[in-house]
Amino acid sequence: MSQPTAITPAGDDAISLLMASIGALSASMVARLEAIEDQLDKAREEQKDFNKTLLSQINQIADLRQKVQYRPVFKAPASSHTDTSEAASQGSSKNLGSEGSLGVHA
């Protein structure tokens, strides 16, 4: 059987140096990971802000499209016709474009 090797003072110094190096490397890795986490948090916040802005713009576009789509095409004066719905349908068919719109295309 072999006897365990005794650690010499020079061996103790090497182990201490190795442990210190491992500690420094670990601290460096932790610092890098924290920096990466901070960057990810910042990117997430920027993405949230961008998404809010984009959603707001999409809603504005939808509101404008709805206003354009549902605006009255023709209103007949009530005093000139007895049946205003008939006059409105006649007037609106004259004002429509080739696709049944006022020239506003999606």
Tell which residue, 7, 92, 10, has the closest CA to residue 101.
Answer: 92
User: The tokens of 19 are what?
Assistant: 């442990």
CA–CA dist 11, 6 (Å, integer) = 9
Sort 92 into a burial class: Cβ within 10 Å, 0-12 / 13-18 / 19+. middle
The DSSP letter of residue 99 is T
pLDDT on residue 84: 53
Average pLDDT, the chain: 78
Q: How confident is the model at residue 106 (pLDDT cuts 50, 70, 90)?
A: very low
Tell which residue, 54, 84, 56, has the closest CA to residue 72.
Answer: 84
Q: How confident is the model at residue 37 (pLDDT cuts 50, 70, 90)?
A: very high
What's the whole-model pTM score? 0.45
